[in-house]
Copies of this chain bind each other. A is one copy, B any other.
Amino acid sequence: MEDKFLKSAGEELRRKGYKLTGPRLAIISYLAGEKGHPDMQEILEGLRSEYPAIGMATVYRTVDLLLELGILRAVTLKNNHLRYEVNRSGDHHHHLVCRGCGQIIEFGSCNFQLMAREIEKVTRFRIEEHSLEAYGLCPHCLPGSEDHSTEKI
């Protein structure tokens, strides 16, 4: 399953005429195996163990390329910088961000399509994609619980 995503990402690179290099594979497989939503710095650090020679410039260039190809997706969960996740097809989800511990929960249910059709009728805009984040408090951080601020972003 992880294999399948990696394989198709590799094919997508090839198809568009890009080379399938070590850093590219390393970044894709790191993000594919990652539960959280790392930022550029965290991606670099996460790769160091498997790929000690990699440089920051390569991370920037590679992530930008993978975003363009739709292999990755950017999200702004903490309202001040960008984080990244793999863009598995058929995996339409949104984020629940806890303001207590920073934990992010993904949720899949989304009835925006109905709303979208309505908005398109009124505005004549063609809606192709959307993103939705909800902010609040997770069960641990609700008043009456202790702070468990060690969760994965």
Kindly provide the distance from the CB of A19 to the nearest chain B CB, expressed in whole angstroms: 26
- Are A82 and B80 in contact, with the CB atoms below 8 A? yes
Contact residues of A: prevailing secondary structure: mixed
Please state if A109 and B115 are interface contacts (CB–CB under 8 Å): yes
- Please give the number of chain A residues whose Cβ is less than 8 angstroms from any Cβ of chain B in the complex: 37
Shortest A108–chain B CB gap in Å is: 10
Residues of B within 8 A of A69 (CB): none
A135 near B130 (CB under 8 angstroms)?
yes
Please determine whether A107 and B135 come into contact, CB atoms closer than 8 angstroms.
no
| B82 and A74 contact, CB distance less than 8 A | no
- Report the minimum CB–CB distance from A100 to chain B (whole Å): 10
Q: In the complex, A107→B111 CA distance in Å?
A: 17
Q: Is the CB of A131 within 8 A of B128?
A: no
Answer yes or no: A54 CB below 8 A from chain B CBs. Answer: no
